[in-house]
């Protein structure tokens, strides 16, 4: 079978610089909580910037889901 290290429940994504654009807004992924399947996201709309601490993983586009690979 072999040894398989356990994945952490909380993952910091700032070093990976993952972001995507949707509806003229830029979404930057900051943290990923695997136990709740939520993300902390910075949403930039023009010069306005806000933080969403409980953004659902299911709302991400497929290419971002592949980058994270939660399983």
- pLDDT tens for residues 15-60? 989 999 999 999 999 999 988 999 999 999 999 999 999 999 999 9
Range of the domain at 38: 10-65
CA-wise closest residue to 70 among 28, 35, 24: 35
- Domain membership flag for residue 71: no
Q: Based on the structure, what is the number of domains in the chain?
A: 1
Residue 4 lies in a domain: no
- The answer to the question of residue 2 being in a domain is no
**Token pair of 8 as six digits:** 């952490």
The answer to whether the Cα torsion of 8, 11, 20, 27 is positive or negative is: positive
Domain assignment of residue 1, yes or no: no
The secondary structure element, H or E, covering residue 64 is helix 62-68
How does pLDDT run across 5-16, given as a tens digit for each residue? 667 788 889 898
């Amino acid at each position: 079978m072999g040894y398989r290290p356990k994945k952490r429940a909380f993952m910091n994504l700032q070093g990976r610089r993952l972001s995507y654009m949707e509806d003229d807004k830029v979404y930057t992924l900051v943290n990923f909580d695997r136990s709740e399947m939520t993300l902390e996201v910075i949403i930039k709309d023009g010069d306005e910037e806000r933080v969403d601490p409980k953004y659902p993983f299911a709302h991400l586009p497929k290419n971002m889901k592949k980058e994270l690979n939660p399983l």
